[in-house]
Amino acid sequence: MLYKRISEMSREEKDRLIRRGGELADVRDTVASILQDVRQNGDAALRLYTGKFDGAELGAIEVSEQEMDEAMQSIDASLLKHLEFAAGNIRKFHQAQMPEKVWFMELSPGIELGQKFTPLESVGAYVPGGRASYPSTALMTIIPAKVAGVRNVVMCTPPGADGRINPLTLAAARIAGADHVYKVGGVQAIGAMAYGTETVLSVCKIVGPGNVYVTAAKMQVRDKAEIDFPAGPSEVLIIADDSADARMAASDIIAQAEHDPNAVSVLVTTSAQLAEDVHAEVLGQAARTARAEIVRSSLANAAVILAGSLEECIGFSNDFAPEHLEIMVSEPDYVLERIENAGSIFVGNYAPVPVGDYASGTNHVLPTAGYAKIYSGLNISHFMKSASIQRISKQGLETLKDAVISIAEKEGLTGHADSIRTRFSN
């Protein structure tokens, strides 16, 4: 774990933090080869790569209704209630984001301009597996699509070695409203959803997080299916002053570190005492955590950084553009107003990232590796498209015609100009 003042950090140390994340170029050719195989050979390729990478021999690729029913029945009733509670909050938050389906404004007499919002026809939700099951990601990717009105939402997730999906993930998919669930993960799942196979339905858009291979695959299939954004290994940046609780801040670093060996956790603080206390707490908590091996690997990517001022903390955060940003300072609104780049923001000592991961209702599918500078986290707009509308009378066109004719002729498009003149020739 890096433990330094910002003023003492070398350029290499700063660059290593700012430019974190796997290199998509490193896996490009491998990913392209798998995608091409899936495109050409469909289900046979899915079975081949599922056996190779997941160690599972697939029978039916799609999860049956009977399997879904059995999964629901196998889950403790109290846990199902918690899943439904989280799903309800996620649904409410995304319903609040819904735009009016059609709206108009009057530009001037005879000219009405507006927009019409339409849900995408189909969406594919990718839910990672591997080191852990992620029923929460099923909720986060499927529910907003259904709220938006997407008719066909499919989910892909890797099976275990027994060829089955974790029952909790299946239960979450049922609660969220998935129309089809497939036992396929990795690059092959992205290819299947983009191109379609004998079993897997092709979709208009693919959403959801994944490792560097999944992210690279999403970037490579954009000629067939749109994607949300690159979403790789998880990360948190915490801005804190001497009002923060060291134990809480350290526990949030550990929570992020246990996701994945490539997860990134950073504390930037104005308090030398807090920096010292958090560093010690992190090392102590790391030794006691259940996923100690993963945490130890991840802490190689972690940093505790001492800044000279709150402004320096904010500047570093905006350069870093974290997936998750926690603000643990005495005047959080001052910091919040100055944040420009973050996937999701958590304000106060009692707003740790895990509440957004699971149950507060905000979405946990977020841009990582600095992509928060150019992308927004998953929201209702990812599942809709908009068309502009113009409703114009002859009176309205009269006020526009001179400008349109003049500009069209200047561009050499006389047909454009004549289409306006025609309407006033009688």
Q: Binding residue per annotation — 357?
A: yes
pLDDT digits (tens, 9 = 90+) for 166-210: 999 999 999 999 999 999 999 999 999 999 999 999 999 999 999
Q: How many CB atoms lie within 10 A of CB 15?
A: 11
Q: What is the pLDDT of residue 18?
A: 81
Q: Has residue 305 been placed in a domain?
A: yes
The verdict on residue 380 lying in a domain is no
With beta carbons less than 8 A apart as the criterion, state whether 365 and 16 touch.
no
- 363 is annotated as contributing to ligand binding: no
Residue 257 CB neighbours (<10 A) = 29
328-360 burial, b if ≥16 CB within 10 A, otherwise e?
bbeebeebbeebebbbbbbeebebbbbebbbbb
Do 196 and 57 lie in one domain? The reply is: yes
- Kind of pairing, strands 226-227 and 205-207? parallel
Looking at residue 132, its pLDDT comes to 67
CA distances from 41 to 28, 54, 63, 192, 211 (A): 20, 19, 21, 10, 24
**389 within a domain of the structure (yes/no):** no
CA 37/CA 51 separation, integer angstroms: 15
Whole-number Å distance between alpha carbons of 209 and 214: 8
Using an 8 Å Cβ cutoff, are 10 and 310 in contact?
Answer: no
Residue type, 209: P
Statement to judge: residues 399 and 274 lie in one domain: no
Q: Give the pLDDT of residue 53.
A: 95
Tell me the range of 22-26, 201-205, 229-233, 291-295 where mean pLDDT is highest: 201-205
3-class DSSP assignment, residue 56 = coil
Based on the fold, state whether residues 89 and 108 are members of the same structural domain: yes
Q: What's the CA dihedral at 97, 102, 103, 107 to 10 degrees? A: 140
Report the pLDDT value the prediction gives residue 21, as an integer from 0 to 100: 61
94 in a labelled binding site: no
Question: What average pLDDT does this structure show over 400-408?
Answer: 98
Round to whole Å and give the CA distance between 415 and 408.
Answer: 8
CA separation for the pair 224, 145 (Å, rounded): 19
Annotated active-site residue in 235, 258, 281, 323: 323
Retrieve residue 299's tokens.
């802490």
Asked whether residue 115 is marked as a ligand-binding residue, the answer is no
Structural domain includes residue 119: yes
- Give yes or no for a contact between 3 and 304, defined as CB atoms under 8 angstroms apart: yes
Residue 369 tokens, joined: 């590796």
Is pLDDT above 80 for 131?
Answer: no
Percent of the chain with pLDDT over 70: 99
Assigned token pair, 13 = 């140390």
Tell me if 390 is assigned to a ligand binding site. no
Kindly indicate the confidence band of residue 48, based on its pLDDT and cuts at 50, 70 and 90.
very high
- Options 324, 326, 364, 382, the catalytic residue: 324
Q: Does the annotation place 211 within a ligand binding site?
A: yes
62 assigned ligand-binding residue: no
Instruction: Report the CATH number that the domain containing residue 246 is assigned in CATH.
Output: 3.40.50.1980
Whether 106 and 167 map to the same domain: the answer is: yes
Task: Indicate whether 104 and 175 sit together in one domain.
Answer: yes
* Residue 26 contacts residue 327 (beta carbons within 8 Å): no
Q: Is residue 212 part of a domain?
A: yes
- Phi and psi at 111, nearest 5°, equal -130, 110
Indicate the DSSP class of residue 109: T
156 pLDDT higher than 80:
yes
CA distance readout (Å), 311 to 7, 15, 233, 332: 14, 20, 27, 13
The β-bridge partners of 3 are: 304
Q: Which uninterrupted H or E stretch holds 171? A: helix 167-176
Q: Which of 299, 333, 351 is the last residue of a domain?
A: 351
Same structural domain, 320 and 400 = no
- Domain final residue, candidates 227, 244, 263: 227
Q: Are residues 277 and 180 in the same domain?
A: no
The tokens describing 378, both together, are 């998953």
pLDDT level of residue 130 (50, 70, 90 thresholds): low
Same domain? For 168 and 263 the reply is no
Task: For 63-107, write each residue's pLDDT tens digit.
Answer: 999 999 999 999 999 999 999 999 999 999 999 999 999 999 999
164 is a domain residue: yes
Q: How confident is the model at residue 233 (pLDDT cuts 50, 70, 90)?
A: confident
**Whether the predicted pLDDT of 133 surpasses 90:** no
- 36 has a pLDDT exceeding 70: yes
Segments forming the whole domain that contains residue 17 = 2-21+233-351
The verdict on 8 and 28 lying in the same domain is: no
Digit-coded pLDDT (tens) for 329-350: 999 999 999 999 999 999 999 9
Query: What was the pLDDT predicted at 31?
Result: 97
Query: How many domains in the chain?
Result: 3
Radius of gyration of the chain (CA): 25
User: Does one domain contain both 155 and 139?
Assistant: yes
223 and 240: one domain? no
Position 20 scores a pLDDT of: 77
* Gap between the Cα atoms of 209 and 233, Å rounded: 8
In this prediction, residue 22 has a pLDDT band, given cuts at 50, 70 and 90, of: low
The label of the residue with tokens 């690997």 reads: 297
Question: Does the pLDDT of residue 266 top 70, yes or no?
Answer: yes
Q: Average model confidence (pLDDT) for the chain?
A: 95
411 is in an annotated binding site: yes
Q: Please name the amino acid found at residue 116.
A: K
Whether the predicted pLDDT of 56 surpasses 70: yes
Q: Of the residues 171, 194, 227, which one is the last residue of a structural domain?
A: 227
Q: Quote the pLDDT of residue 35.
A: 98
Q: Is 180 a catalytic residue?
A: no
Tell whether 366 is covered by a domain: no
For residue 324, indicate whether it is catalytic: yes
390 found inside a domain = no
Query: Nearest to residue 302, comparing CAs of 237, 381, 212?
Result: 237
- pTM score of the predicted model: 0.93
Q: Are residues 68 and 217 in the same domain?
A: yes
How much is the average pLDDT of 377-397?
A: 97
Q: How high is the pLDDT of residue 13?
A: 87
Task: Determine if residue 416 is labeled as part of a ligand binding site.
Answer: yes
Pairing assessment for the beta strands 384-392 and 111-119 based on DSSP bridges: antiparallel
